[in-house]
Amino acid sequence: MLFSTEGWKPSREPQAFLGLAEEYLADATQALPDAHRCAELSRQSLYYALHAGEKIELERARATVPRNDRRPHCFLGCDIHAYFQMDVALFLSRFTTVLTPLAGTADPRI
């Protein structure tokens, strides 16, 4: 089972979506002679597989993140395009306040 080595498994909902995705994929394989039908069934399979994947990642994060210790000196950031065009003081006062938990405005559980 998915993630069983971590002591966690997805709930019934994403497992059901995975089941639907697999069924649509099997149907698409059977419908290979009819390209339009095969494409539609493949699209449905992908739709449910992607939905399941998103649900699984969210559930897994809810299960694993709280078990990890908070890292007080861990700073968040992002790829900053055009940083060189920004006023450095404005950047440091606004951007780091929003993204750095130590600044006091971000969620302290991060």
Instruction: Decide if pLDDT at 105 tops 90.
Output: no
pTM beyond 0.75, yes or no: no
pLDDT of 61-88, one tens digit each? 888 877 777 766 665 555 566 666 777 7
Give CA–CA dist 21/75, Å, rounded: 38
Amino acid at 21: A
Q: What is the pLDDT of residue 80?
A: 61
Dihedral angle of Cα 38, 39, 43, 49, to the nearest 10 degrees: 50
Instruction: Decide if pLDDT at 47 tops 70.
Output: yes
- Greatest mean pLDDT range, 1-5, 46-50, 53-57, 75-79: 46-50
pLDDT of 19-44, one tens digit each? 999 999 999 999 999 999 999 999 99
Q: What is the pLDDT of residue 100?
A: 60
Q: Which residue has better confidence, 22 or 101? A: 22
Give CA–CA dist 98/102, Å, rounded: 10
